[in-house]
Amino acid sequence: MRVEEGRATYEEIKQLAAQIKLALTQIEQRAPLLVDEYNARLTQKTNKLAAKVSIPEERLAQEVVIYAERSDISEELLRLNSHLNQLLGFLAAEGAIGKKLDFLIQEMNREANTIGSKVSDVTISQQVVEIRCQLEKIREQVQNIE
C-alpha cells in the first residue's frame, strides 16, 4: 500500500512540476518585452507632457535603465529552474527526501515571491500565482513523504 501511495504521490508531484515549468516558460518569454513596453509607455507619457515641460532624452533613458535593473528577474528564473530540476532529481533518489523537498519548496516559494514583487506585469503576476498554487500543492504532498 505504501509503495502504491508513493507512486501516486510521485506522479502527482511530477505533474505539478510540469505545470510550474510551463508557467516559468511563459514568464521567460514575457520578461524580455517588459523593458521595451515600459520605454514606450514612458515615452508616450512624456510626449503628452512635452508641451508643458521639457524632459531631456538622457533623463528618459536613465529611467528606462533604472527600471530594467530593478525589474530584472533573470537570476530568480535561473534559480527557480535549477530548484525545479533539483526537485525532480530528489524524486528519483532513494531514501528519505521529505525534509530536503520541504526546504526546496520554501526556496522555490521565495524565488516566485521575488519575481512577483519585482515585476508589475499582469501576465507574469498570473503565472507567479499559478506557480505558488502548484508549489502549495506540492508542499501538501511533501508533508506525507519521509
Q: For residue 49, what is its C-alpha cell?
A: 507632457
Q: How confident is the model over 35-72, as pLDDT tens digits? A: 888 888 877 877 777 667 777 788 878 887 888 788 89
pLDDT at 45: 78
pLDDT at 87: 95
Position 115, amino acid: I
How many domains does the chain divide into?
Answer: 2
Q: How confident is the model over 79-124, as pLDDT tens digits? A: 999 999 999 999 888 888 889 999 999 999 999 999 999 998 999 9
> Among the three residues 15, 41, 72, which one is the final residue of a domain in this structure?
72
Q: For residue 106, what is its C-alpha cell?
A: 520554501
Cα Rg of the chain, angstroms: 20
pLDDT at 138: 96
CB atoms within 10 A of CB 108: 25
One domain, residues 1 and 50: no
One domain, residues 40 and 65: yes
Question: 30: which residues sit within 8 A by CB, 6+ positions away?
Answer: 121, 123, 124, 127
Q: What are phi and psi of 97, to 5 degrees?
A: -125, 0
Q: For residues 9 and 64, give the distance between their C-alpha atoms in angstroms, rounded to a whole number.
A: 46
One domain, residues 14 and 83: yes
One domain, residues 97 and 129: yes
One DSSP character per residue, 64-81 reads: HHHHHHHT--HHHHHHHH
Q: What are phi and psi of 120, to 5 degrees?
A: -105, 65
**Which CATH number belongs to the domain containing residue 127 in this structure?**
1.20.120
Centroid of chain to Cα 107:
12
Domain that holds residue 55: 32-72
